[in-house]
Homo-oligomer: A and B are copies of this chain.
Protein backbone atom coordinates (compact mmCIF):
# COMPACT_ATOMS: atom_id res chain seq x y z
CA UNK A 1 0.00 0.00 0.00
CA UNK A 2 2.77 2.43 0.92
CA UNK A 3 6.34 2.50 2.10
CA UNK A 4 7.71 3.82 5.40
CA UNK A 5 9.01 7.00 3.76
CA UNK A 6 6.10 8.10 1.65
CA UNK A 7 3.90 10.92 2.90
CA UNK A 8 0.27 9.75 3.10
CA UNK A 9 -2.77 11.93 2.67
CA UNK A 10 -5.55 10.57 4.87
CA UNK A 11 -9.06 11.49 3.74
CA UNK A 12 -11.00 12.17 6.94
CA UNK A 13 -14.74 12.61 7.31
CA UNK A 14 -14.83 13.03 11.08
CA UNK A 15 -16.29 9.52 11.46
CA UNK A 16 -14.86 6.61 13.40
CA UNK A 17 -13.22 4.82 10.48
CA UNK A 18 -11.16 7.59 8.94
CA UNK A 19 -10.08 9.01 12.30
CA UNK A 20 -9.12 5.51 13.52
CA UNK A 21 -7.04 5.09 10.37
CA UNK A 22 -5.31 8.43 10.82
CA UNK A 23 -4.67 7.60 14.48
CA UNK A 24 -3.04 4.25 13.61
CA UNK A 25 -0.85 5.80 10.94
CA UNK A 26 0.32 8.58 13.28
CA UNK A 27 0.99 6.06 16.07
CA UNK A 28 2.97 3.90 13.65
CA UNK A 29 5.16 6.86 12.78
CA UNK A 30 4.01 7.54 9.24
CA UNK A 31 4.28 11.00 7.79
CA UNK A 32 0.65 12.03 7.22
CA UNK A 33 -1.64 14.94 6.58
CA UNK A 34 -5.41 14.93 6.81
CA UNK A 35 -7.75 16.05 4.06
CA UNK A 36 -11.21 17.16 5.06
CA UNK A 37 -13.69 17.74 2.24
CA UNK A 38 -16.35 20.19 3.33
CA UNK A 39 -19.50 19.00 1.56
CA UNK A 40 -21.57 21.92 2.86
CA UNK A 41 -24.22 19.64 4.36
CA UNK A 42 -25.54 21.99 7.07
CA UNK A 43 -24.71 21.15 10.70
CA UNK A 44 -23.46 17.70 9.72
CA UNK A 45 -20.54 19.23 7.84
CA UNK A 46 -19.85 21.84 10.51
CA UNK A 47 -19.70 19.23 13.26
CA UNK A 48 -17.65 16.71 11.34
CA UNK A 49 -15.17 19.41 10.31
CA UNK A 50 -14.81 20.47 13.95
CA UNK A 51 -14.05 16.86 14.94
CA UNK A 52 -11.32 16.65 12.32
CA UNK A 53 -9.79 19.98 13.30
CA UNK A 54 -9.77 19.04 16.98
CA UNK A 55 -8.21 15.67 16.16
CA UNK A 56 -5.49 17.23 13.99
CA UNK A 57 -4.57 20.02 16.37
CA UNK A 58 -4.46 17.69 19.40
CA UNK A 59 -1.90 15.57 17.51
CA UNK A 60 -0.04 18.44 15.86
CA UNK A 61 -0.94 17.27 12.36
CA UNK A 62 -1.57 19.26 9.22
CA UNK A 63 -5.20 19.23 8.03
CA UNK A 64 -6.08 20.43 4.56
CA UNK A 65 -9.65 21.59 4.10
CA UNK A 66 -11.33 21.85 0.70
CA UNK A 67 -14.83 23.16 0.16
CA UNK A 68 -16.78 21.27 -2.49
CA UNK A 69 -18.79 24.43 -3.14
CA UNK A 70 -15.64 26.31 -4.18
CA UNK A 71 -14.89 23.80 -6.92
CA UNK A 72 -18.20 22.36 -8.09
CA UNK A 73 -20.03 25.66 -7.67
CA UNK A 74 -22.48 24.75 -4.92
CA UNK A 75 -22.66 22.70 -1.72
CA UNK A 76 -23.86 19.08 -2.00
CA UNK A 77 -27.52 19.83 -1.12
CA UNK A 78 -27.66 22.18 -4.13
CA UNK A 79 -25.65 19.81 -6.30
CA UNK A 80 -28.27 17.19 -5.51
CA UNK A 81 -31.03 19.44 -6.86
CA UNK A 82 -29.07 20.28 -10.01
CA UNK A 83 -28.38 16.72 -11.12
CA UNK A 84 -30.38 13.58 -11.73
CA UNK A 85 -27.71 11.45 -10.09
CA UNK A 86 -28.54 9.97 -6.67
CA UNK A 87 -27.09 12.23 -3.95
CA UNK A 88 -24.43 9.74 -2.86
CA UNK A 89 -23.28 9.31 -6.46
CA UNK A 90 -22.63 13.02 -7.14
CA UNK A 91 -21.02 13.36 -3.71
CA UNK A 92 -18.78 10.31 -4.24
CA UNK A 93 -17.70 11.59 -7.64
CA UNK A 94 -16.83 14.99 -6.16
CA UNK A 95 -14.91 13.43 -3.28
CA UNK A 96 -12.81 11.15 -5.48
CA UNK A 97 -12.02 14.06 -7.77
CA UNK A 98 -11.04 16.43 -4.98
CA UNK A 99 -9.01 13.81 -3.11
CA UNK A 100 -6.89 13.11 -6.15
CA UNK A 101 -6.50 16.78 -7.01
CA UNK A 102 -5.50 17.75 -3.45
CA UNK A 103 -2.99 14.91 -3.19
CA UNK A 104 -1.38 15.90 -6.50
CA UNK A 105 -1.31 19.58 -5.57
CA UNK A 106 0.31 19.03 -2.19
CA UNK A 107 2.70 16.29 -3.30
CA UNK A 108 1.22 13.19 -1.75
CA UNK A 109 1.64 10.03 -3.89
CA UNK A 110 -1.10 8.14 -2.07
CA UNK A 111 -4.50 8.84 -0.51
CA UNK A 112 -5.70 6.53 2.27
CA UNK A 113 -9.41 6.24 3.09
CA UNK A 114 -11.11 4.63 6.07
CA UNK A 115 -13.28 2.11 4.19
CA UNK A 116 -13.83 -1.00 6.31
CA UNK A 117 -14.92 -4.57 5.50
CA UNK A 118 -18.61 -3.67 5.78
CA UNK A 119 -18.19 -0.75 3.37
CA UNK A 120 -16.27 -2.81 0.86
CA UNK A 121 -18.63 -5.79 1.01
CA UNK A 122 -21.65 -3.50 0.54
CA UNK A 123 -20.03 -1.76 -2.44
CA UNK A 124 -19.18 -5.13 -3.97
CA UNK A 125 -22.72 -6.34 -3.35
CA UNK A 126 -24.17 -3.31 -5.13
CA UNK A 127 -21.84 -3.74 -8.09
CA UNK A 128 -22.66 -7.45 -8.31
CA UNK A 129 -26.42 -6.94 -8.25
CA UNK A 130 -26.08 -4.93 -11.47
CA UNK A 131 -22.89 -6.58 -12.69
CA UNK A 132 -21.18 -3.25 -13.13
CA UNK A 133 -18.05 -4.70 -14.64
CA UNK A 134 -16.16 -1.39 -14.60
CA UNK A 135 -16.81 -0.92 -10.88
CA UNK A 136 -15.89 -4.56 -10.25
CA UNK A 137 -12.58 -4.15 -12.04
CA UNK A 138 -11.77 -1.15 -9.84
CA UNK A 139 -12.83 -2.66 -6.51
CA UNK A 140 -9.57 -3.14 -4.70
CA UNK A 141 -7.99 -2.25 -1.35
CA UNK A 142 -5.04 -0.77 -3.25
CA UNK A 143 -5.59 0.97 -6.57
CA UNK A 144 -2.30 1.65 -8.34
CA UNK A 145 -1.51 4.85 -10.18
CA UNK A 146 -2.23 4.15 -13.83
CA UNK A 147 -1.49 7.70 -14.99
CA UNK A 148 1.02 10.35 -13.83
CA UNK A 149 -1.87 12.54 -12.66
CA UNK A 150 -3.57 9.77 -10.71
CA UNK A 151 -2.35 9.13 -7.16
CA UNK A 152 -2.66 5.70 -5.57
CA UNK A 153 -5.75 5.02 -3.45
CA UNK A 154 -5.53 2.60 -0.54
CA UNK A 155 -7.94 1.32 2.10
CA UNK A 156 -5.80 -0.04 4.93
CA UNK A 157 -8.81 -0.96 7.14
CA UNK A 158 -10.55 -3.15 4.56
CA UNK A 159 -10.04 -6.29 6.65
CA UNK A 160 -11.74 -4.83 9.75
CA UNK A 161 -15.45 -4.84 10.44
CA UNK A 162 -17.38 -1.73 11.40
CA UNK A 163 -17.60 -3.10 14.92
CA UNK A 164 -13.83 -3.41 15.11
CA UNK A 165 -13.10 0.15 13.95
CA UNK A 166 -15.77 1.43 16.35
CA UNK A 167 -14.18 -0.58 19.16
CA UNK A 168 -10.74 0.79 18.33
CA UNK A 169 -11.99 4.37 18.26
CA UNK A 170 -13.77 3.91 21.57
CA UNK A 171 -10.74 2.37 23.28
CA UNK A 172 -8.46 5.09 21.92
CA UNK A 173 -10.85 7.80 23.12
CA UNK A 174 -11.23 9.27 19.64
CA UNK A 175 -13.94 11.92 19.52
CA UNK A 176 -15.77 11.25 16.28
CA UNK A 177 -19.10 12.25 14.78
CA UNK A 178 -21.66 9.51 15.47
CA UNK A 179 -24.44 10.80 13.22
CA UNK A 180 -24.61 9.48 9.69
CA UNK A 181 -24.81 11.90 6.80
CA UNK A 182 -28.46 13.11 6.61
CA UNK A 183 -28.52 12.22 2.90
CA UNK A 184 -27.62 8.59 3.56
CA UNK A 185 -31.14 7.82 4.82
CA UNK A 186 -32.66 5.27 2.48
CA UNK A 187 -29.40 4.90 0.53
CA UNK A 188 -29.14 1.51 -1.14
CA UNK A 189 -25.67 1.02 0.34
CA UNK A 190 -27.25 1.02 3.81
CA UNK A 191 -29.92 -1.46 2.68
CA UNK A 192 -27.18 -3.69 1.31
CA UNK A 193 -25.27 -3.47 4.59
CA UNK A 194 -28.36 -4.62 6.46
CA UNK A 195 -28.86 -7.49 4.07
CA UNK A 196 -25.23 -8.56 4.43
CA UNK A 197 -25.59 -8.37 8.20
CA UNK A 198 -28.48 -10.83 7.96
CA UNK A 199 -26.36 -13.17 5.85
CA UNK A 200 -23.55 -12.81 8.37
CA UNK A 201 -25.88 -13.73 11.23
CA UNK A 202 -27.04 -16.85 9.38
CA UNK A 203 -23.49 -17.88 8.46
CA UNK A 204 -20.70 -16.09 10.30
CA UNK A 205 -17.83 -15.17 8.01
CA UNK A 206 -20.14 -14.67 5.02
CA UNK A 207 -19.15 -11.02 4.59
CA UNK A 208 -15.45 -11.77 4.77
CA UNK A 209 -15.74 -14.71 2.37
CA UNK A 210 -17.75 -12.63 -0.07
CA UNK A 211 -15.19 -9.82 -0.21
CA UNK A 212 -12.04 -11.90 -0.02
CA UNK A 213 -13.33 -14.57 -2.38
CA UNK A 214 -13.83 -11.79 -4.89
CA UNK A 215 -10.40 -10.28 -4.35
CA UNK A 216 -8.67 -13.68 -4.45
CA UNK A 217 -10.53 -15.43 -7.24
CA UNK A 218 -12.83 -13.25 -9.27
CA UNK A 219 -11.41 -9.75 -9.52
CA UNK A 220 -8.80 -10.81 -12.06
CA UNK A 221 -11.59 -11.90 -14.42
CA UNK A 222 -12.99 -8.35 -14.52
CA UNK A 223 -9.59 -6.72 -14.83
CA UNK A 224 -9.22 -8.54 -18.14
CA UNK A 225 -12.62 -7.34 -19.35
CA UNK A 226 -11.97 -3.69 -18.58
CA UNK A 227 -9.00 -1.76 -19.76
CA UNK A 228 -9.84 1.76 -20.80
CA UNK A 229 -7.20 4.22 -22.03
CA UNK A 230 -6.83 7.28 -19.80
CA UNK A 231 -6.50 10.83 -21.05
CA UNK A 232 -6.61 14.31 -19.50
CA UNK A 233 -9.80 16.34 -19.30
CA UNK A 234 -9.63 19.18 -21.84
CA UNK A 235 -11.32 21.44 -19.27
CA UNK A 236 -9.55 20.82 -15.95
CA UNK A 237 -6.59 18.64 -16.89
CA UNK A 238 -7.49 15.85 -14.46
CA UNK A 239 -7.56 12.24 -15.60
CA UNK A 240 -10.61 10.95 -17.47
CA UNK A 241 -11.66 8.28 -19.95
CA UNK A 242 -13.48 10.75 -22.21
CA UNK A 243 -12.86 14.28 -23.40
CA UNK A 244 -14.47 16.16 -20.51
CA UNK A 245 -14.36 14.47 -17.12
CA UNK A 246 -17.46 13.51 -15.14
CA UNK A 247 -16.67 16.11 -12.50
CA UNK A 248 -16.56 18.99 -15.01
CA UNK A 249 -19.86 17.76 -16.48
CA UNK A 250 -21.36 17.76 -12.98
CA UNK A 251 -20.06 21.29 -12.36
CA UNK A 252 -21.63 22.36 -15.68
CA UNK A 253 -25.00 21.00 -14.59
CA UNK A 254 -24.73 22.84 -11.28
CA UNK A 255 -23.84 26.09 -13.05
CA UNK A 256 -26.77 25.83 -15.46
CA UNK A 257 -29.23 25.30 -12.62
CA UNK A 258 -27.76 28.03 -10.37
Contacts and interface: CB of A to CB of B under 8 A. Distances in A.
B209 A133 contact: no
A131 B195 contact: no
A206 B133 contact: no
Contact of A217 (B131, B213, B220, B224): B131
Contacts of A225: 220-221
A256 B128 CA distance: 43
A225 B130 CA distance: 21
A218 B219 CA distance: 11
B129 A210 contact: yes
A191 interface: yes
A2 interface: no
A219 B250 CA distance: 33
| Interface size of A as a range | 20 to 34
Q: Is the contact region of chain A dominated by helix, strand, or loop, or is it mixed?
A: helix
A198 interface: yes
A227 to B, nearest CB: 13
Contact of A199 (B129, B133, B136, B209): B129
A114 to B, nearest CB: 25
A133 B224 contact: no
A216 B131 CA distance: 9
A202 interface: yes
Interface string A99-142: 00000000000000000000000000000111101001000000
A129 B195 contact: no
Interface in A182-210: 188, 191, 195, 198-199, 202-203, 206, 209-210
Contacts of A188: 203
Nearest to A213: B131
A216 B214 CA distance: 19
Contacts of A130: 209-210, 213
Interface of A: 128-131, 133, 136, 188, 191, 195, 198-199, 202-203, 206, 209-210, 213-214, 216-218, 220-222, 224-225
